Structure 1
Amino acid sequence: MCRWLAYTGEALAPSTLILDAQHSVVAMSLNSPLGAETVNGDGFGLGWYPDAAPGAEPAVFRSIEPAWHDQNLREISRAVRSPLFFAHVRAAAGPPIQQTNCHPFRHDRWLFMHNGSISGFGTYKRDLVLDVDPSLYPFIQGTTDSEVLFHLALTHGLMDDPVAGVGAAIRRVEQVGRDAGVPFPMQGTIAVSDGSTLWAFRYSTQGRSRTLFHSADVPALREMYPDAARLEAFGDRAQVVVSEPLNDLPGVFLEVPESTVAVLDPDGYHHREFLAA
């Protein structure tokens, strides 16, 4: 389907993770060992919150070029510094390759991206779209199930309570999907942020979700690997959630459990059950 990465912590050039890491996001776009598709070359997106501008609306750059081929991505990701950013590489599973179908999606100060699918989406797309609040409907620009899911979550209160909003949207997808004869409607991992907190969800109706990992605390990693020069690029509050580990060092990336929402905020990383049976 896709691969994605979300970073929060001290301001950092996105290129540090999406270009320069051992198994960077751009490397995943060419070869994704843990992905449903090996190659994710149907466009990409970068969304970032400006440094030293709390509450500011995020900037978004999206393209239908393969991430490994786009010089503008290299220029922007090296020039920008951000305390919280999203990166996404896409493997189109039906909806056309167009800029409005590339992640992340933005509404006001919120960013959203998704790896996975709503199974049988075309069969009951109309029912889900008609559930979107009329005030939000005009903001749906593309044709993907992910963008509809985002607007369903906004409809169900994501901006007040992201966990409850995403949960209610997924439950609605499952209800409508099952009514249409689809046994396992929801699959995927989701990232949501308001610029200060990052929520990362791993959930599927079948209980066999796409892979998702989070990084261990940087101070602990420095104790584990005192000679690892690459850690010098990160501050003590740096946290990453990513579809696949960015390097091969044992203990650096830990798997996010199934049916879980991971929360990364100024207090660090913690997680809890999400839509558990």
Structure 2
Amino acid sequence: MAYSGDPILVEELLYRPVHSLIDQSLHAKLGGFTTNGDGVGIGWYGDRAEPAVYKSTHPAWNDRDLREIASQIRTPLLFAHIRASSGTPVQRSNCHPFRHGRWLWMHNGSLAEFGTLKRDLVMAVDPALYPQIEGSTDTETLFFLALTFGLEDDPPTAVARAVALVEEVGHRHGVAYPVHMTVATTDGESIWVFRYSSEGETSSLYYSTDVAQVRQLHPELEALQQLGPDTRFVVSEPLRELPGAWHEVPDGSWGLVHRDKGEIHPFQPLVRV
């Protein structure tokens, strides 16, 4: 889940909605895993330019420290992620979101047969960035490939080039469908989202554009009544069903989410020439 808008307590976003992200860690409906208990992480922006990150290998529903800090953190931009490992170890350095400077990155999905592709992919990471890779996940590798290809200057082009590289390496190793992803990344001002898979069957991704409709979704959340019209949500699953409140990001698309605008564009891998 990603949130952008007026500062709000994290607990209002993580714990109060009926089908909150914490509830989804046990009862996900649309993803590949019903239970997502291999760790939890949040990233948020405060008084400094760079975001803070909290990560834990505890299941989200049983993380007392997360519950404790969520009642005290107020932020205008939050990334939150619950993890179901696709094969890499359950350890803090493998939990999302990942951070580099001002940037946060999180991902649902996988790079198929990552163990086979990993060496070729990490060798393509900029040598200056490589020492900053802390974990062993496909997600972090994809993040650092995007940084290598210019994420900080042009996120859509950088991600398109990173995905093209993964597909090229995958096909070279006989992997038919190397990429399956929904990605969210932010510099603390805007949020870019991507939904793409090599086989055209990608995990769900939704966004909201009208906070008034979100208020109808959650009359139990008094805090929403105080939020301004620029409030935006991005979620893997709707926090509660309400016709017209959530818009699905089409498969094979990228989107820009900002306080004063939202855009959706076609997404295609971009092979460098």
User: Normalising by the residue count of structure 1, what TM-score does the alignment of the two structures yield?
Assistant: 0.93
- Give, in whole Å, the separation in 2 of the partners of 1:216 and 1:162: 21
Q: CA 1:33–1:219 in structure 2 vs 1: closer, same or farther (change >3 Å)? A: closer
Determine if contact 2:4/2:259 at 8 Å carries over to the other structure. Answer: no
- Give, in whole Å, the separation in 2 of the partners of 1:118 and 1:270: 26
Match for residue 88 of structure 1? 81
Q: Which moved more, 1:64-73 or 1:7-16?
A: 7-16
Determine if contact 2:17/2:218 at 8 Å carries over to the other structure. Answer: no
Determine if contact 1:29/1:40 at 8 Å carries over to the other structure. Answer: yes
The aligned length equals 268
Q: Is 1:105–2:98 an aligned residue pair?
A: yes
- Give, in whole Å, the separation in 2 of the partners of 1:96 and 1:217: 39
Deviation at 1:227, TM superposition (A): 9.7
- Give, in whole Å, the separation in 1 of the partners of 2:202 and 2:171: 18
Q: Which of 118, 122, 126 is 1:129 aligned to?
A: 122
Deviation at 1:233, TM superposition (A): 4.8
Match for residue 30 of structure 1? 26
Match for residue 71 of structure 2? 78
Q: Which of 55, 65, 74 is 1:62 aligned to?
A: 55
Amino acid corresponding to residue 182 of structure 1 in structure 2: V
Over the matched positions of the two proteins, sequence identity in percent amounts to 48
Secondary structure of residue in 1 paired with 2:69: helix
Consecutive unaligned residues of structure 2, counting only runs of 5 or more, are: none
Q: Is 1:163–2:159 an aligned residue pair?
A: no
Q: Which of 249, 266, 275 is 2:259 aligned to?
A: 266
Tell me which stretches of 4 or more aligned residues in structure 1 moved more than 6 Å: none
- Give, in whole Å, the separation in 2 of the partners of 1:180 and 1:38: 31
Q: Is 1:210–2:203 an aligned residue pair?
A: yes
- Give, in whole Å, the separation in 1 of the partners of 2:217 and 2:79: 28
Amino acid corresponding to residue 172 of structure 2 in structure 1: D
Q: Is 1:43–2:36 an aligned residue pair?
A: no
Match for residue 145 of structure 1? 138
Q: CA 1:71–1:172 in structure 2 vs 1: closer, same or farther (change >3 Å)? A: same
Consecutive unaligned residues of structure 1, counting only runs of 5 or more, are: none
Determine if contact 1:259/1:276 at 8 Å carries over to the other structure. Answer: no
Q: CA RMSD in A?
A: 1.7
Determine if contact 2:163/2:269 at 8 Å carries over to the other structure. Answer: no
Which string of whole-angstrom CA distances, capped at 9 and with x for unpartnered residues, describes residues 46-93 of structure 1? 00011xx4x710000000000000111111112111111100000011
Q: CA 1:227–1:76 in structure 2 vs 1: closer, same or farther (change >3 Å)? A: closer
Match for residue 11 of structure 1? 7
Deviation at 1:276, TM superposition (A): 7.4
- Give, in whole Å, the separation in 2 of the partners of 1:126 and 1:226: 46
Amino acid corresponding to residue 62 of structure 1 in structure 2: K
Secondary structure of residue in 1 paired with 2:177: coil
Secondary structure of residue in 2 paired with 1:79: coil
- Give, in whole Å, the separation in 2 of the partners of 1:190 and 1:170: 11
- Give, in whole Å, the separation in 1 of the partners of 2:4 and 2:175: 36
Match for residue 237 of structure 1? 230
Determine if contact 1:64/1:102 at 8 Å carries over to the other structure. Answer: yes
Secondary structure of residue in 2 paired with 1:165: helix
Which string of whole-angstrom CA distances, capped at 9 and with x for unpartnered residues, describes residues 87-141 of structure 1? 0000011100000000000000000000000001111210000000000000111
- Give, in whole Å, the separation in 2 of the partners of 1:35 and 1:19: 20
- Give, in whole Å, the separation in 2 of the partners of 1:226 and 1:126: 46
Determine if contact 2:254/2:265 at 8 Å carries over to the other structure. Answer: yes
Deviation at 1:228, TM superposition (A): 3.8
Amino acid corresponding to residue 9 of structure 1 in structure 2: G
Secondary structure of residue in 1 paired with 2:123: helix
Taking the TM superposition and a 5 Å limit, the aligned residue runs for 1:240-255 are 240-255=233-248
- Give, in whole Å, the separation in 2 of the partners of 1:214 and 1:196: 17
Q: Which moved more, 1:187-196 or 1:72-81?
A: 72-81
Secondary structure of residue in 1 paired with 2:3: strand
Deviation at 1:220, TM superposition (A): 5.6
Deviation at 1:221, TM superposition (A): 5.6
Determine if contact 2:181/2:195 at 8 Å carries over to the other structure. Answer: yes
